[in-house]
Amino acid sequence: MTTKPSITAKYLPSTRSVHAGEKRVKPVNSLVDPVFQTSSYTFENMAAVVAYQEAHNRGHVADEFEYGRYGNPTIAAAEARIAALEHTETAILAASGMAALAYTFIQYLPGGSHIIITNDSYRRTRQLVEDHLKKYNVTCTVVPFGDFSALEAAIRPETRILFSETPSNPYLRVLDVERFAEIGRRHGLLTVLDCTFSTPINLTPLDYGIDVVIHSATKYLGGHNDLLAGVIAGSHKVVDPIRGCIGILGGISDPNTAYLLLRGLKTLGLRVQQQNHTAQQVAEFLANHPAVERVWYPGLANHPGHEIAAKQMKGFGGVLSLTVKGGRQGSFQFIDALEIPFISASLGGTESLVLHVAAQAYSDLNPEQCLKEGIPQNLVRLAIGIEDAEDLIADLNQALNSIQS
Ligand SMILES: Cc1ncc(COP(=O)(O)O)c(C=O)c1O
């Protein structure tokens, strides 16, 4: 059987989205990776058992399977596609983005260790490291985003991980990834980046020396608001121990989710390029609208992370945040008047979504507590879908004009 080499980084985004990491010859010559709906695998005889176990004990075996908690061919196909998109050796598909973060932290943060995390990140991630890991005697220091002096000053002998998002949630701050990786390397620390907002179309951080890339694949990678999944990508040396940990703790994904993800990934390049383009137009429109106080989008020249984003990213992404004049009431009126975006907590899919940050993501805090977290009552996050920019802009315009003071 002849096999052509698999599609690699030399190809452009849409070619890679469709073909990266795939096997040219799939089971029964199927064009598409099939769904292997099985919980276990069989062996022809004991010699095959012994051969499998011996190979398995030497390290991860890519194409042979024993039991569903340790691997599945449909999941493996999705993992291979994502690893290739991230320019790295291997990837794990976890049950959700939070599961991907939790397993990475559990594996690499022993009791008594310390993690440093930049502020302005997904609130549940901060709750995981600040509140939950405390139960296992893991401590955490939160440093201001982009303050590398504070980051280095926070490093202690027991520090194990430097963690950040890029761009961050909800203010789209952009990390200097090369500098972050260099600090991690110099201090012998694991660098972990949540790149949900950037996607491997806009940024491949492992090229800059980052150790682990995390995604909520629920967002852009899946891309259709119909699945929950997480990704952990990196070298075999770093990621295989996490795979072993998940094999014991059990929070795996499933073959139907992996199939949907493989299907969604085929349009990743197309979707993200359109979302980059539309978000830029929307951000420029909003920045000039009299009912808008401020817009945060890395593609705007006055955004604090614009310069570094322009240097290290191939596109500025599909999420932006804005504050609307008229406080909480004005922002509610604006959201209620929108006809196209749904009010919803997610992002990265085909449908545009709008989120009132204080009322949805911080609903348990009062306005003063929200402000302490940097969240005013008129902050709105807009996740651009793949609808036409002209339609979205017209809708945003009518919704902003409907605000009554
Ligand atoms: C940046 C970021 N990381 C992680 C997560 C968690 O992902 P999941 O919802 O798939 O667990 C989210 C979810 O919104 C997110 O925005």
| Domain-wise residue ranges, the chain | 13-36+72-265, 269-401
As given in the structure block, the two tokens for residue 377 are: 């009552």
The alpha carbon dihedral of 56, 59, 60, 61 has a sign of negative
194 as an active site residue: the answer is: yes
The 10s digit of each residue's pLDDT in 240-274 is 999 999 999 999 999 999 999 999 999 999 999 99
219 as an active site residue: the answer is: yes
User: Kind and range of the H or E element at 152?
Assistant: helix 148-153
Ligand 1 center to 191 CA (angstroms): 18
Pairing between β-strand 319-324 and β-strand 379-383 as defined by DSSP bridges: antiparallel
- With 0-12 / 13-18 / 19 or more C-beta atoms within 10 angstroms meaning exposed / middle / buried, residue 12 is exposed
Q: Is the pLDDT of residue 1 over 50?
A: no
Q: Is the pLDDT of residue 239 over 70?
A: yes
**pLDDT for 275:** 98
**pLDDT for 60:** 64
What's the CA gap between 66 and 43, in Å, rounded? 8
Q: Is the pLDDT of residue 143 over 60?
A: yes
> Do the beta carbons of residue 87 and residue 233 sit within 8 Å?
no
Determine the length of the chain: 405
97 in contact with ligand 1, CB cutoff 6 A: yes
**pLDDT for 400:** 98
**Which residue's CA lies nearest to atom 7 of ligand 1?**
97
- With 0-12 / 13-18 / 19 or more C-beta atoms within 10 angstroms meaning exposed / middle / buried, residue 175 is buried
**Per-residue pLDDT band at 6 (split at 50, 70, 90):** low
Look at the pTM and tell me if it is higher than 0.75.
yes
Highest CATH level, class, for 269-401: alpha beta
Ligand 1 center to 91 CA (angstroms): 17
**pLDDT for 59:** 72
Domain 13-36+72-265, CATH = 3.40.640.10
Specify the range with the lowest mean pLDDT, choosing from 2-6, 162-166, 348-352, 386-390: 2-6
**pLDDT for 63:** 80
- With 0-12 / 13-18 / 19 or more C-beta atoms within 10 angstroms meaning exposed / middle / buried, residue 250 is exposed
94 in contact with ligand 1, CB cutoff 6 A: no
What's the CA gap between 325 and 400, in Å, rounded? 9
As given in the structure block, the two tokens for residue 158 are: 């027991």
Q: Is the pLDDT of residue 2 over 60?
A: no
The 10s digit of each residue's pLDDT in 301-317 is 999 999 999 999 999 99
User: Kind and range of the H or E element at 383?
Assistant: strand 379-383
Give the Å distances, CA to CA, from 144 to 100, 168, 287.
Answer: 24, 12, 25
User: Kind and range of the H or E element at 312?
Assistant: helix 306-312
